Structure 1
């Protein structure tokens, strides 16, 4: 009860410190820079891997240079959520950036492929705590009613990194050396460290400080974390290997799925039976809240759909329209640009009206329209149509992408916000891996069946192994145009995943209940049957000494209703 009252005295967003506009701007620059660097590291190798593979003579390791980063980035999300819940947010955030910098340094100086893989894994381990840590710092410095506008800028920085990554990687590789693809993180990351170390002053958390160090480590739930991280690594490796390095029915892929299932079951059983109270990796307030799960489903739909489009549209540009690698990246700019612009607009609109639901509904409507139109492109589609369709889809994703994190910040108590934010980030990363793998399976299955009917005398497997851009040149001249037409249809068929996910996001957009991000002091919450939760026992308190009455509820979280 004492912790609940303390949380209320801070206000329902835990905000106490109100930095000046100049100081807040510098902090936001540092946070956005860190998000930009960790986001860019997911795409910067797209144009640099051929040169790296030539230097290290390690063609077979190409996939691991990206996968090692993504594996640790995804798997340690919830672990960072526990760290942010139990230790100083600023300290954990700076440690995450330091790990990212150490990994980048190892990659910059890597003498061989193994060292590069290790460096990428360490960089991903640090990056796992950067985006969620940036969000959590804003929860302590910016009132909930104004927070969406700033977080929209941060989401835009992440999207911008996806555009800049391949171009910057190509430019650095051509003009200097591929090592600067990682070396660039060192000075720019240092700027974030300095800005945050000097300017970020977060309110003290008496509840956290009162917990002894031994008890904090007990609450980290190390056995549960090991099971969860292990299961996620097995799942992601199975999705990365299946259909590319090994067939889906190979013993390695099947074994990975089996181990994933066993470890996940062990994690769930221990969470339900052996782990209690604050020691749970996923608190009861999150597990029992329908709006959190709807927000997670919405995040998965938006993220999975846009990643499929980002991956397969450039392949279509190169293989069907004959674009170069860099030109295909430029052709993708409308989609990412639309996302960046509308992420910022959406944040401002959400901040102004105080509700995240309109942004989710608009995002769903625009993404459905854009994805529908993208599935209609063909070999002879005009540039104007391709650009316009991408813009519309990008607008939809931009409007909806950041909203799930606003949901958890609004309806969860401050103590559970770190886990809530990292849970949404985990769902986004998993969604990207899962649906990209689904897209690969659809593409290969459709290509095999369709090409076999028009090219019965051609070895289809060797054709599929020729590479996306070399597909046409490996075909017999007399059947090249017909096969390209089939290839175009199969590539576009992957975009039906984006359409299906956009349609599915309707459930989250409509199902999530409306709770205001603005403070409405002096209001009594008495409809306990229709709210996600509240502080028990009728605790009363408020910001600046104002009186806020809150009725008892049966949940663990709280929010203010319109």
Structure 2
């Protein structure tokens, strides 16, 4: 914070309600949105230098572990099946992690707006590590699934904590650069997940250490968490009991139930159960009803209040905030489908192991990370954000179309080129929304803004991968059943998941080639949502009414709002 501050005026409070949030000494925080020509103030934090580097490194390490856990199961599933059996429960290993994270995003987002972000972050880290410990020590598949759900919940809290801690401890000009590091670390962890998991599976440490490693890293940075992370109390002076009473319990339960049932239905339908199965239909119906009830409860503030509700309904009247949400969901769908399915393409067409196939994803990850960093630093310097969305959408659109036209014999160099197009395109704005949303909404609603964007991100990833998975499984099995009529559905499901290459390798060469072509045909359809998501982003990106950062957010919102 700047050493020279001025008293909070009533006019300033009217424009920036956050001015009275963190100003326990009657001064305005330095990290409020400013006009482009206004002089930059000092970062609003009390620690600097090596200590600040340790804080950033410590909290970013948790993002790395969270993203690592998201894909680490890619290589440990065969070992888990060998240890426990229950092959039909395999989809739950990935679904459970997404389920735990997405179900608590709105409640956790509200909690970060009420309580000390430091201790919420630490509690989330503890929950994540409890889940990791349970996964590592799991005696059966059910315990492993429960551990994955707990780890997903804790990981979501850590992610929100990192975004909050970096946002409140950086100035407007710094913030996009720091938040871009989150995307960089997330991308690295995501691509290294299969590599780390495969390395542990092949080592004497066994697959269990793919989860135990989380506890080791958390223990290493525990002193940083406890001693160096600054406390962030958004409601200074308010008792904990009063804050608990403000929490929207009804909204939290309805939102968690609606999101949970929707993710279960979309991820398990067509994979674990047929789409016309009564349980899947029931899940969709329950999800629809809960979303309706949640919308009514939040809009009319039933059992809650406008300031206490878990969902920022007021954002739905802010045109630019709505566009940012939709773009974030669409670009994460476009960005994560190739991360999951390009390695699978190489496993089937080139016979790669999961580790080798993951390494082939490095062109995408390198350029994605570079683009995220460039966006974070250049966007804040030149203020304009709309060109990043337009240019990135065009590149992603081209790359997605090209990926949807690959064949089993497409040269590797061309695949890498398509990866680069998608990586640069999505990297231009996949992480940008977290910084921009804070300039188009009131500063007092920062916690709402972060959880709003994280809901968009997780929704895009979860639903995008669910749609892609359903398309791939149903299309591939439909083609393979005609080619391999004697194979059971369980055999085919294991084969197309990449966990049972032995079955395909046991087929005669000509039959194996036909089966591979059928799988690649299904993969072509998987990449269709990539360019559809990019097209949605391109259309929406030209509709922004605010094109620059660092403007008067409230005035802009008033001009661009529309009624519910």
**Which TM class, normalised by the smaller chain length?**
0.7 to 0.9
1:237 paired residue among 264, 275, 293? 264
Residues 1:512 and 2:512 are matched in the alignment: no
Q: Distance in 1 between the 2:292 and 2:398 partners?
A: 39
Report the Cα offset of residue 451 of structure 1: 6.2
In the aligned structure 2, how far is the partner of 1:467 from the partner of 1:377? 20
Whether 1:181 and 2:206 are equivalent positions in the alignment is no
- Following superposition of structure 1 onto structure 2, how do residues 434-445 of structure 1 map, counting pairs within 5 Å? 434-445=463-474
1:541 counterpart residue number: none
Q: 1:341 to 1:72 in 2, by over 3 A?
A: same
For residues 387 and 83 of structure 1, do their structure 2 counterparts lie closer, same or farther at Cα, with a shift above 3 Å needed?
same
- Residue in structure 1 matching 2:65, options 37, 42, 51: 37
Query: Contact 1:89–1:136 (CA<8 Å) still a contact in 2?
Result: yes
Task: Say which of 488, 492, 507 aligns to 2:524.
Answer: 492
In structure 2, distance between residues paired with 1:39 and 1:180: 16
Q: After superposition, what is the alpha-carbon deviation per residue over 1:167-216, rounded to whole angstroms, capped at 9, x for unaligned?
A: 111112221122211111112113343223322224654xx134333332
Match of 2:219 in 1: 190
Partner Cα distance (1:105, 1:315) in 2: 29
Given the superposition, is the C-alpha separation of residues 99 and 226 from structure 1 closer, same or farther in structure 2, using an over 3 Å criterion? same
Q: CA offset at residue 157 of structure 1? A: 0.2
Cα distance per residue 1:248-284 (max 9 Å; x no partner): 1110000001111111111111112223221211134
- Once residues 233 and 472 of structure 2 are traced to their aligned partners in structure 1, the CA distance between those partners, rounded to angstroms, is 52
CA shift in 2, pair 1:251/1:82, >3 Å: same
Q: Do 1:309 and 1:495's aligned partners in 2 also have CA atoms closer than 8 Å? A: yes
Aligned to 2:557: 532
Are 1:72 and 2:100 matched, yes or no? Answer: yes
- Cα separation, 1, equivalents of 2:505 and 2:466: 26
Equivalent residue number for residue 321 of structure 2: 292
Taking structure 2 as the reference length, the TM-score comes to 0.86
For 2:39, the equivalent position in structure 1 comes to none
Query: How far 1:238 moved relative to its partner?
Result: 0.7
Whether 1:50 aligns to 2:74 is: no
Q: CA 1:512–1:196 in 2, change beyond 3 Å: closer, same or farther?
A: farther
* 1:343/1:399 contact within 8 Å kept: yes
More displaced 10-residue stretch of structure 1: 193-202 or 69-78: 193-202
Residues 368 and 503 in structure 1, CA contact (< 8 A), matched pair in contact too: yes
| Structure 2 residue 20 is the aligned partner of structure 1 residue 6 | yes
1:308 aligns with 2:334: no
Say which SS state the counterpart of residue 184 (structure 1) adopts. Answer: helix
Where in structure 1 are there 5+ consecutive unaligned residues? Answer: 535-552, 557-562
- In structure 2, the partner of 1:330 is 359
Q: 1:146 aligns with which of 148, 159, 174?
A: 174
The corresponding residue for 1:547 is none
Specify whether residues 484 and 291 from structure 1 end up closer, same or farther in structure 2 by C-alpha distance, changes over 3 A only. Answer: same
In the other structure, the counterpart of 2:346 is: 317
Aligned partners of 1:311, 1:29: CA distance in 2, in Å? 27
Are 1:160 and 2:188 an aligned pair? yes
Instruction: Say which is worse superposed, 465-474 or 372-381, in terms of deviation.
Output: 465-474
Distance in structure 2 (CA, Å) of the matches to 1:282 and 1:179:
38
> Which residue does 1:544 correspond to in 2?
none
Q: Alpha-carbon deviations, 1:349-378, whole Å to 9, x = none?
A: 123213332322232122122222222322
Checking the alignment, whether the CA contact within 8 Å between 2:69 and 2:193 is kept in structure 1 is yes
Shift in alpha-carbon separation, 1:101–1:390, aligned structure 2, 3 A: same
The SS at the match of 2:70 is coil
The answer as to 2:140 corresponding to 1:108 is no
- Indicate whether 1:119 and 2:147 are aligned: yes
Change beyond 3 A, Cα 1:203–1:90: closer
For the structure 1 residues 369 and 232, does the alpha-carbon distance in structure 2 shift closer, same or farther, using more than 3 Å as the test?
same
Residues 279-428 of structure 1 aligned to structure 2 (within 5 Å): 279-428=308-457
Find the residue that maps to 1:345 and give its secondary structure: helix
Q: Does 1:503 align with 2:535?
A: yes
**Any idea what SS the aligned residue of 1:145 has?**
coil
Alignment partners' CA distance in 1, 2:193 and 2:265: 26
In structure 1, the residue matched to 2:24 is none
What do you get for the CA RMSD once the two structures are aligned? 2.8
What is the CA–CA distance in structure 2 between the aligned matches of 1:193 and 1:49, rounded to whole Å?
30
Counterpart contact for 1:360–1:403, Cα < 8 Å: no
Report the CA distance between 1:474 and its aligned residue: 6.7
Shift of 1:79: 0.8
Q: Deviations over 1:115-141 (max 9, x none)?
A: 322222222221111112111111111
Partner of 2:462: 433
- 8 Å Cα contact 1:355-1:514 kept in structure 2: no
Whole-Å Cα distance in 2 between the matches of residues 322 and 156 of structure 1? Answer: 29
How do residues 215-230 of structure 1 correspond to structure 2 at under 5 angstroms? 215-230=242-257
Question: Structure 1 residues 458 and 45, CA, compared in 2 at 3 Å: closer, same or farther?
Answer: closer
SS in 2 for 1:249: coil
Equivalent residue for 1:276?
305
Per mean C-alpha deviation after superposition, the further-off stretch among 5-14 and 376-385 is 5-14
Find the residue that maps to 2:399 and give its secondary structure: helix
Shift of 1:75: 0.7
SS at 1:280 equivalent: coil
**Residue 554 of structure 1, CA deviation:** 8.0
Residue in structure 2 matched with residue 249 of structure 1 by the alignment: 276
* Structure 2 unaligned residues grouped into runs of 5+: 1-9, 22-26, 34-42
| Preserved contact between residue 18 and residue 444 of structure 2 (Cα < 8 Å) | no
Asked whether the equivalents of residues 13 and 139 of structure 1 are also in contact (C-alpha less than 8 Å), the reply is no
Partner of 2:286: 259
Contact map agreement 2:114 2:233 (CA 8 A) in 1? no
| CA deviation string 1:406-451 (max 9, x = no partner) | 1212122233111221121122222222222222333345446666
8 Å Cα contact 1:82/1:418 also seen in 2 = yes
Residue 450 and residue 47 in structure 1: after superposition, are their counterparts in 2 closer, same or farther (change >3 A)? closer
